[in-house]
Amino acid sequence: MNDNAALAAQVRTASQLTGTFLLRSGRTSTEYFDKYLFEADPALLAAVVAGLTELVPPGAEILAGLELGGVPLVTLLSQRTGLPARFVRKKAKEYGTRRIAEGGDVTGRHVALVEDVVTSGGAVLDATRVLRDAGAVVEHVLCVIDRQEGGRERLAELGLTLHPVLTRADLEAAAADT
């Protein structure tokens, strides 16, 4: 079993839930990958971030994690790569700085977004618009799991390239191998 297949098996075992789940996209699914289950396991989180590290595009100056699942990923990825992190909220804080992107300025900087699971890409598209409005150059998105449900295509419409560590096909292949 290669490293990617082993990681897919670990992530699947740790985080795949079955049942009926409402996704952010509004769709209902009979399977759900609970990213908090792989993010809460220090060894598995380290393995996932090792995979993300290999995907950081040349020229990236800042890594921006989406609230909430992208925050632990971007924090560890920042530490591993030496690139500064930013944290993108779902909505601006209503007190204090009232910012939607925390951690410093992004104006004119090449920002790679970091997300846990991409289904339709809605959260990534929202964050991209906010960061671009703030003057960031956003062209790349790193994620742990691409559910292969149209997110890649929707992101491409906004000029974004998706770089997943794992895809739904990888996770299904891991299930077949067990």
Residues contributing to the annotated binding site: 24, 89-90, 93, 115-123, 147
- Residue-by-residue DSSP string for 103-160: SS--TT-EEEEEEEEESS-HHHHHHHHHHHHTT-EEEEEEEEEE--SSHHHHHHHTT-
Beta-carbon contacts of residue 158 (< 8 Å; ≥ 6 apart): 125, 128
Beta-carbon contacts of residue 143 (< 8 Å; ≥ 6 apart): 114, 115, 116, 117, 118, 162, 163, 164, 165
Residues contributing to the annotated binding site for orotate: 119, 147
Residues contributing to the annotated binding site for 5-phospho-alpha-D-ribose 1-diphosphate: 24, 89-90, 93, 115-123
Q: Are 167 and 4 in contact, with CB atoms under 8 Å apart?
A: no
Q: How far apart are CA 110 and CA 60, in angstroms?
A: 5
